[in-house]
A and B are shown apart, each in its own frame.
Chain A
């Protein structure tokens, strides 16, 4: 079966880097995602990585993928108070009907303090 695991909380100081980690179990995963959810809001797709990539960088965000260990991480450089949110890791592969239905972790609450 598929399962995505994340630590529940991460606290960092403003200006430091944040690293949020995730492990997944399904080796057939094609896409791996990071979503951000701010209080009272829906999920915002931050970035995703295709399974044949090791790294993807997008401004302050760096995604690292270790397929051997089934480990995904999201690094946020120069973390700001506006980055405080819940971050969800998700994996997907072509499912019944051909869509990519993500399986989500339970989310990591990132708290950024001054």
Chain B
């Protein structure tokens, strides 16, 4: 069974630009979560989507947004990139908000 997949693997953007990251959950999982793992800060929860709706949001500004598609895949959009947005962005999926989350390999975003 395929795990959670994310694309792209790496990305380099310039401050002020916009970026879109993509995630495909494990087949059958309806919930998708996004996390930011910045150097020295651990994992910070960004967003949770389930059945196409945003269900919960972490303490991040509105320029972090996303959506979930009917096939349960998800996009994370970050507008007006700042240097401190440089991080590994991890996507996880679970069955309907279950306590067991399974993570993808992440997208490494570098903002210069």
Residue positions of A touching B, CB distance < 8 A: 30-31, 35, 40-45, 48, 88, 92, 95-107
Are the CB atoms of B4 and A42 closer together than 8 Å?
yes
* Dominant secondary structure of chain A at its interface with chain B: mixed
* Contact status A104-B33, CB under 8 Å: no
Number of inter-chain CB pairs below 8 Å: 64
Residue on B nearest A101 in the bound complex, by CB: B45
Q: Which residue of B lies closest to A90 (CB)?
A: B43
Complex alpha-carbon distance, A6 and B102, angstroms = 22
Tell me the smallest distance from the CB of A4 to a CB of chain B, in Å.
Answer: 8
Cβ-defined contact, B55 with A100, below 8 A? no
Within B55-93, which residues are at the interface with A (CB < 8 Å)?
55-56, 58, 90, 92
Q: Is the interface of B mostly helix, strand, loop or mixed?
A: strand
Given contacts A99-B48, A101-B33, A101-B48, contact A48 B97 (CB under 8 A): no
- Asked if A99 meets B43 with Cβ closer than 8 Å, knowing A30-B99, A42-B106, A48-B100, the reply is no
Pick the contact of B90: A43, A100, A107 (CB < 8 A).
A43
Number of B residues near A (Cβ < 8 Å) is: 27
* Closest residue on chain A to residue B53 by CB atoms: A97
**Do B42 and A104 have beta carbons less than 8 Å apart?**
yes
Determine the distance from Cα of A105 to Cα of B103 in the docked complex, in whole angstroms. 16
Residue contact B56 to A95, C-beta cutoff 8 Å: yes
Contacts of B48 in A (CB 8 A): 97, 99, 101
> Which residues of chain B from 30 to 59 have a CB within 8 Å of any chain A CB?
31, 33, 40-43, 45, 48, 50, 55-56, 58
A30, B97: Cα distance in complex, Å:
14
8 Å CB interface, B1-31 against A = 4, 6, 31
Q: Please give the distance in Å from A87's CB to the nearest CB on chain B.
A: 12
Residues of B within 8 A of A101 (CB): 33, 45, 48, 56, 58
Contacts of B40 in A (CB 8 A): 106
Top 9 nearest A-B pairs by Cβ distance?
A: A99-B97, A97-B55, A42-B103, A100-B99, A106-B42, A43-B103, A104-B43, A42-B105, A31-B99
